[in-house]
Every structure is written in structure tokens, then in C-alpha cells.
Amino acid sequence: MTRFSELMSGQTLLPIIQADTPEQGVQIAKAMANAGLTLVEVVLRTEASLDALKAIKEQVPELKVGAGTVINETILQQAIDAGSDFIVTPAVSPKLLSALTKCNVPVLPGVSNTGDILMALEYGFKEQKLFPASLAGGAPFVSAVSSVFREVSFCPTGGVSEQNKMDYLSLNNVFAVGGTWVAKKEWVKEQNWQAITDSCIEAIK
């Protein structure tokens, strides 16, 4: 099984796409691809999310496209059927982790405390998403658990910004950060795709 970080192949930003329509999703994805990004996460938070994911896969084939906000087996199956290249969850449970171990694509399970980290590790997941990172203790928390969970590396998401991303990325046990700041809602609303491209270029410097 390919590790999630291998799929990212050195990209330190996990850019998050939240789209109200498939067309919107495609435009955001194209703007991100124009910045040189090769992988994006579509969060399944709107009715159009799965269709947006499919549309991006069809119309921006150079991108690896995964599904986020996967919280149960039904959504997991829908995401896989839609062609997701990877799966991201906001939280973990024994039932969900059990389903994720049978997944044939890379998975990034979401954790928010030491109990979650241990549980995800027991199911074999050494790469985890800390969410919501800023509320779960931020960079000091990630740093503090590094000596206890030496084989786990993290992709903090939630409250990560241009201002604080290096607090995380400077840590040895962080391989990437996830963020919505590179595709602000007002830019999407104004169809200011160039602003998204510029923000992504700045974020991966």
C-alpha cells in the first residue's frame, strides 16, 4: 500500500477544495494545478462534493484528487466509487478504522488526542491528520508527542495559515499541512481564480 506522503511526493501543502457546484470545484482545482500542485482534497461537505470530485478527475487529469470528511462506511464507499485517489477522515472510531484498513487507496485518518493517535496506530496508520490542529494543541502538541509516538508523522489541518504553517512544517514529525486559506471563500465567490493560484504558489515556497 502506498503511503499518503508518497502520493504527495514532496508537496507540503494539502490544499482543500470546498465546492458548491462541480464547475466551481473544477475552477478551484485548475487554479491550484496552475500553481504546480499535484494533489488536492475535496471535502464532502456539500451536496455537489462527489460530483465535483468526479468532474475534477475528468477535467484536470494531472491532479491526484481525494475525498475528505469521510466519517462512515457509506461515505467511504461513495468516495471510492467516485474515483478518489485517497481518503481523509476528520476523526476515527474502531468501526471506521476497520473499514479504512480494507481501502485500496492511501488513507489519512484524523486524530485529535493521544488516544486517537494510539488507536489509529494500532490499526496500522503511521501517517495521521491532526484535526482541528489549532484547537488540539497546535505545534506544541505535535512536538510533545514526537518522543512518545516516534513512528507517527502528521499533517495538521484546521486553523493552519500562511502565518503559522512553518511552526508545524519545521517539526520532524510533520510531512505536510492542510489548509483552506489558499482558496478563500470570497475569492471563490468573486471567481478570482488567479488569487488562488498566487496563494498556492506562496504557500509551497
pLDDT of residue 2: 80
pLDDT of residue 205: 83
CATH number at residue 132: 3.20.20.70
Q: Examine the pLDDT at 8 and tell me if it is beyond 80.
A: yes
Q: Which domain holds residue 157?
A: 12-203
pLDDT in tens, 52-61: 999 999 999 9
Residue 155 lies in a domain: yes
Which residues lie below 8 Å from residue 147, measured CB to CB, with a gap of 6+?
A: none
Sign of the Cα pseudo-torsion (35, 107, 49, 59, in order): positive
The pTM is what?
Answer: 0.96
Q: Examine the pLDDT at 1 and tell me if it is beyond 80.
A: no
Residue 7 lies in a domain: no
Residue 141 lies in a domain: yes
Residue 3 lies in a domain: no
3-state SS, the chain, equals CCCHHHHHCCCCEEEEECCCCHHHHHHHHHHHHHCCCCEEEEECCCCCHHHHHHHHHHHCCCCEEEEECCCCHHHHHHHHHCCCCCEECCCCCHHHHHHHHCCCCCEECEECCHHHHHHHHHCCCCEEEECCCCCCCHHHHHHHHCCCCCCCEECCECCCCCCCHHHHHCCCCECCEEECHHHCHHHHHCCCHHHHHHHHHHHCC
Catalytic residues: 41, 129
Residue 145 lies in a domain: yes
pLDDT in tens, 76-127: 999 999 999 999 999 999 999 999 999 999 999 999 999 999 999 999 999 9
d(CA 97, CA 88): 11
Residue 6 lies in a domain: no
Domain count, the chain: 1
pLDDT in tens, 150-185: 999 999 999 999 999 999 999 999 999 999 999 999
Residue 5 lies in a domain: no
